[in-house]
Structure 1
Amino acid sequence: MRRILGPTMACAACALLAVPAAAQETEVNWATFWVGTNPLKPWGEALLEGFNAEYDGQYEIVTEEIPGDKQYRDKMRADAVADALPDLITGNTALMKDLRDSGRVVDLMPYLEADPEWRDSFFDNAFDTYLTAEGELYALPYSRDYIGIFYNKAMFEEAGIEEFPRTWEAFFEACDTLSAAGFIPMATEGDWTTRLMWANMIGTQPGGAEWLSTAGGEGDLELVGNAPVVAGTEMLRRMFEEGCTNEDAFTGQYATGATLFLQAEAAMIANGPWMIPNIKGVNTETAEGLGEDVDYAVSPGAGDERGLIIVTGEAGFAVGAKEQDKIDGSVAFLKYLTSDEQMLNQAVMVSRFGPTRMELSEEQRGQLEPMLLDIVAESEDVQHTYPHTNITMPTSIIQEFINSWPVYARGQIDTETFLEILEDAQ
C-alpha cells in the first residue's frame, strides 16, 4: 500500500494550527455529487453557504459538480491515477479505500491529534472504518447510519399483511402475498440495495454478524465453505428465484430499484435513512401520498432474531490537496462539517445521524423525522447488528458481485462457483 500523505515535516504541528499570514483568500475545491435530486443536496448547500460566510476572507469553498454517484466515483479514481485529485472528495467506503491505496490523500490523524477537543467529540469507534494498521486516517466519517428496510404500509394492507415480517420465512410468505396482489415485493438493482439484503441475510445467520463485523481487516476473505455466507447467499438467490424482486434487477444502477419504490410500484426497498427526504418528495417526484404510506423496519431474522445494519463511516471525506494552505482550509471545512450545528442540520435535512457525541434536546428531537427516531429506538431490540459489505469486502469483490450476480441468480452457476469467483477477485 502506498503511504498516505502526511503534513509537511518542518514544524508540522505549527502548520496544523497556523492562520495564513497573507490576507488573500484561499480557494478550496470540493468535488461533489450532492446535486440534482441527490438527497444530500440541501445539506451540502447549507454547508457551503455557512462555511463561506464564517470563513469569509480566509477560505472559500468552490464546488465542482459531478452528477451521478457512479460517474463521480469513476472520475475520482481517474483523478487519483493522474495525481489530479480535488482538494476535498466525498464518497462511500469503497471509493475511500481506493483513494487510500492510491497514496494521494492526506493523513488526517495529526490534525485530530493537534485538536483534542475535536478528536474527542467523535464516538470511540468512529474512525475504525478509515484507520490503517499504521494508525493513519485516510478519510473522516460524517455519518452513523441505521440502515433498515422501507416498506409501503398501504400495499401491505391492501395485500392483507398486518405487520412487517419478523422472520425470513414470514418475509418470503409476504413476498408471495404481495405478488399475488399485483405488487413487486422488493425493489433491487443488483448492486447497493441487493448487497444490503445480502448483508441482512448473512448477518442474521448463526455467526454471521460476528463475521461481518470482524472480516474486513487485512488478508483475503474466505467465502467458500463459510457457513453464514453460504446460507445468506443462497437465501439472496431464493429472493430472485421466487419472484420477490423486479425482473430488471441486474442493471447495477441505483435508480432502477429506487424509482420502483418511489413510484409505489414496489412494496419494499433496503436503504439508508438518507432516502427519507426523497420518500417525502424532496428533490424527487414520488407517487402521491407516498410519504404517509411508508414506514421503516429492521431486518427479519432466523427464529425471530432480527438484525440491523449499523455503520459509522458509511461515507466520508478525504483531502486530496497538496499545498498546505489548501490542506488547512480543507481541515477547517471538516471541523465545520462535524460541528454540533452541522451534525444537527444533517439529521434534520437528510435524516442521517453523525459520528459525534451530541446530546439532543427535546426541542431538537422534535425537528427530526419520526421514522429515523423509530429505527434508532428499534435498534435496541434487535439480536444482531453488523456492517454491510462495503465495510467488510474490498472493492474488487463488490465489483465482481455486480458482474456475476446475474449469472448466479439465474441459476447458471452454483453457490460454490459464485463464491469462488468472488474470492478469486481479491
Structure 2
Amino acid sequence: MKRRKPEQTATSFFRRNLRNRETGAQRIFCRKTAAFLTGGLLVCLCLSACGPVKEKTQKTEKKEVEIPITFTVNPTTGKKNQQELVEAFNQKYKGSYQVKVDWIMETEDEYRQNLKRMNVTDQLPAVITDLRMLPSFYHMMITEGRIEDLSDEIRTDEEWSSSIEEVVLQGCTEPDGGIYLSPISTAAFSCSGIFWNQELFAQAGIDHFPTTWEEFWECCDKLQAHGITPLALHTEGTGWSPMLFATAQLASTPEGLAFMETLYPESYNNAQGRQLAETLQKLFSYAGKEALHSDFDVAYNDFFSGKAAMVANGYWMIDQIPAEWKDKVRFSAFPGNTLVSSPETFGWSVVSGYSEEIKKGAVEFLKFRTLRNKQEKERLFSSQGSTGKAAQQDYIQAYQNVSGLVPNYQVKWNSILQEETIGKYLPKLAEGEITSQDFVEASDESIDRFRQEW
C-alpha cells in the first residue's frame, strides 16, 4: 500500500474534522431552530385561543394638574365672582392645568374670616384671595412660611414683571424684597368712589355731583329735604361703605392723609381719630334705619331700589349694575377729587403646602391673571368705555383726572378694630348710644388687645 505524505495526512484530517464540526453545528442549529419554531407555534396557538392581543400604548397620557381655589358667589346678584377669568384660563391651558373652583355663597367678609379657620384645619386652597385685607393674618402667614415668595418668578419673567405698574409692584413688595401677593397689572380697577342716582339728584334740584366736602353735606341736606334718603350705609363687617366716606373725608387735610398712611396707628385718641368718629356719626344721620345691624348687601339693595341716592364702593360694582339702571347710575370721585385705593388688596397668594406641580400651575394662573388685567385696561381705556355703562365712562374720567389716592384703611389698621370693634360700636355710635370719644377709646382698646395677641 502506498503511504501518504505526513503533511497530506494532517491536512486531510483537518478538513475532515472541520466538516464534522460544521455538520454538528448545523444539527445543533436545526434542533434549536425547530425548538424555537415549535415554541413560537405553541404561543401563537395559545394566543389565538385566548383572543386578540391589544397592543400596549407607548405614550402615557399626561394628566391635567388641578389647582384648587375658592371664589364667592355674590349673595345679592347670584353672580360667580372671577368666573370669566377661570373659564379663560381653563380653555387656554386645557390638557395641562385646570382651575378647580369651590363656589361658596358668602360675603367677602365671611370668606376672609373662613381663611383663618381653613388655615388652622389645613384646608386652604392652593390660591387664596383677599389676604392683604387681613393685615395681621397676612404677616402671620409670611412668618410661618404658609405662603410662597413669588419675587424670583416675577422678577425673572420679563413679560410678567413689565406688565405690572410700579406703584402696584411696590404695594405688593415687603421691606425685605419678598413678594407674597401676586399683583394685578394696574391700579386702574382698584379704586373706590361714590355711585349716585342722577334721577334722585334731579328731583332735589341738584345738577352735578359736589366737588367739596362742604357741598357734599349741603347736597345731603337738599336730598333729605325732598324726602330722599341721601346715603346707603351699613354697620356690619368692617363698615366698608361708611368707612370709605369717613376716611376719604379725613384724608382731605395733610394731617389726615398722613394718619391714613400710617400702618397700625399707635392711638386714635387724637384729632384725626375724633374727626373720623364724628364724621361716621354724621353720615348715619343721612341714612335709613335699615343701615343698622346690616351688611353691604342691604346698602346695595337700598341704592338699587331707589331708596337712597348714594353708595360708596369700588370699580367692581359697575358689573353689578342692573341693566335697567345703566343710564341713571353715575360715578364720581370723593369730594376733593380723591379715590380710595390700595392695589395690594387685589394680590393673590400661593399656599406653600401643595406639591410643586400644583404650585407651578398656580403661579401660571396668577401670571395669566396679571396679563389679562393689563389687556382689560388697554381695551377699556382705549375705548373710553364708550360701549359700557355711564358709570364706567365716569370712572375712567375720574381715574385719569384724580388728584390723589387715599390708602384703604383695611390694609393699615389692626384686625381686631376692623373685625370686632367697628361691628360692635358703629351701630351704637350711629344711634347715639355712645359718643365719638367713646368710639375712639374703644378703638384704642383694640390696639392694646392686638399687641397682646400678636
1:204 counterpart SS class: coil
Give TM-score scaled by structure 2 length. 0.75
Matching of residue 271 in structure 1 with residue 310 in structure 2: no
Alpha carbons of structure 1 residues 82 and 96: separation in structure 2 relative to 1, 3 Å:
farther
Which residue of the other structure, out of 61, 66, 70, is the alignment partner of 1:31? 70
Superposed counterparts of 1:4-403, under 5 Å: 23-34=62-73, 41=80, 44-68=82-106, 69-91=108-130, 93-95=132-134, 98-102=137-141, 103=144, 104-142=146-184, 144=187, 145-190=190-235, 191-212=239-260, 214-216=261-263, 220-225=265-270, 227-240=271-284, 243-281=285-323, 289-300=324-335, 305-321=336-352, 322-339=354-371, 341-345=372-376, 358=378, 362-363=382-383, 366-367=386-387, 369-379=389-399, 381-399=401-419, 400-403=421-424
Moved more, 123-132 or 363-372: 363-372
Task: Tell which has more relative contact order, 1 or 2 (C-alpha 8 A, sep 6+).
Answer: 1
Assess if the C-alpha contact under 8 Å between 2:233 and 2:242 holds in 1.
yes
Q: Which has the larger share of strand?
A: 1
Q: Deviations over 1:222-274 (max 9, x none)?
A: 3211x33422331221222xx31121223251111111001111100001121
Given residue 199 of structure 1, which amino acid in structure 2 is its aligned partner? T
1:251 counterpart SS class: coil
Q: Which has the larger share of helix?
A: 2
Q: Deviations over 1:203-223 (max 9, x none)?
A: 1134222332x312xx54332
Query: Structure 2 CA distance, aligned partners of 1:380 and 1:86?
Result: 36
Unaligned runs of 5+ in 1: 1-20, 282-288, 346-352
Aligned to 1:286: none
Given residue 318 of structure 1, which amino acid in structure 2 is its aligned partner? S
Q: Deviations over 1:96-133 (max 9, x none)?
A: 75244133222222221231331232111213444333
1:267 counterpart SS class: strand
Given residue 197 of structure 1, which amino acid in structure 2 is its aligned partner? F
Query: Structure 1 CA distance, aligned partners of 2:393 and 2:126?
Result: 35
2:292 counterpart SS class: coil
Deviation at 1:61, TM superposition (A): 1.1
Query: Structure 1 CA distance, aligned partners of 2:380 and 2:317?
Result: 22
Query: Structure 2 CA distance, aligned partners of 1:172 and 1:364?
Result: 31
Alpha carbons of structure 1 residues 230 and 251: separation in structure 2 relative to 1, 3 Å:
same
Number of residue pairs matched?
A: 376
**Structure 1 vs Structure 2 CA RMSD:** 2.7
Assess if the C-alpha contact under 8 Å between 1:202 and 1:233 holds in 2.
no
Deviation at 1:376, TM superposition (A): 3.7
Give TM-score scaled by structure 1 length. 0.80
